[in-house]
Structure 1
Amino acid sequence: MDMSWFLVVSALIFCIGAFGVLTRRNPLVVLLCLELMLNAANLALIAFSRMHGNSDGQIFAIIVMVVAACEVTVGLGVIVAMYRRRVPIDVDELRELQG
């Protein structure tokens, strides 16, 4: 397969994720859309790595997956804590984390 197909799919997934981040108000959906964006970047990294014939992009994609897993862990912890305190879970009205 040509590398352009991988990049087209990556760009499509990234656009779907960016649209979800900009339009949704639920923090869980925003986290899922951020994950879509990170997976699109990983797909592009692996495609370019395959095109150049080295494994640097694949190693960097693994590092991005580790960072994404940490982000989800912390984000879900914050969201669960907010649900327990009965704080409104609307991203536009969220003022709990402001100092």
Structure 2
Amino acid sequence: MITLTSYAVVAMILFSIGVIGVIARRNIFVIYMSIELMLNGINLFLVTFARYHFNIDPQIITIMVISIAAAEAAIFLSVIILLFRSKRSLDTDLFTSLSQGENK
């Protein structure tokens, strides 16, 4: 039997892996995927407690978060493509300047 604790542990593991990915990695795409993993961990946590308390409100919030994350994914992936075209790399150390005229 799968219990509430099992789902909560999986949600915390997903969120923790996402945090470690954001902190430890330098690739912009990996950082973005880690942020998405953190969002999915939070969504799993919300749905778990919504099911446990027989309340639909956290499930509605989860659906809203998923739809906003889908729109954010399209924008963020287009920004990643533009950054890759300009620097030919996705290493975060290369993106320290906000100036358009600087070609380093």
TM-score, length-scaled by structure 2: 0.85
Look up the match of 1:36: 37
Could you say if the C-alpha distance between residues 21 and 89 of structure 1 is closer, same or farther in structure 2, counting changes exceeding 3 Å?
Answer: same
Aligned counterpart, 2:75 = 74
Identical pairs, percent: 38
Cα deviation digits, residues 7-53 of structure 1 (max 9, x gap)? 00000011011100101111111111111100000000000100110
1:92 is matched with which residue?
A: 93
TM-score, normalised by the number of residues in structure 1 = 0.89
Aligned pairs, number:
99
What residue ranges of structure 2 are gaps of 5+ in the alignment? none
Counterpart contact for 2:29–2:90, Cα < 8 Å: no
Residues in 1 aligned to 2:93 and 2:86: alpha-carbon distance in whole angstroms: 18
State the Cα RMSD in Å.
1.7
Contact 2:46 2:59 in 1 (8 A): yes
Larger radius of gyration: 2
Which residues of structure 1 form unaligned runs of 5+?
none
1:88–1:94 CA contact under 8 A, matched in 2 = no
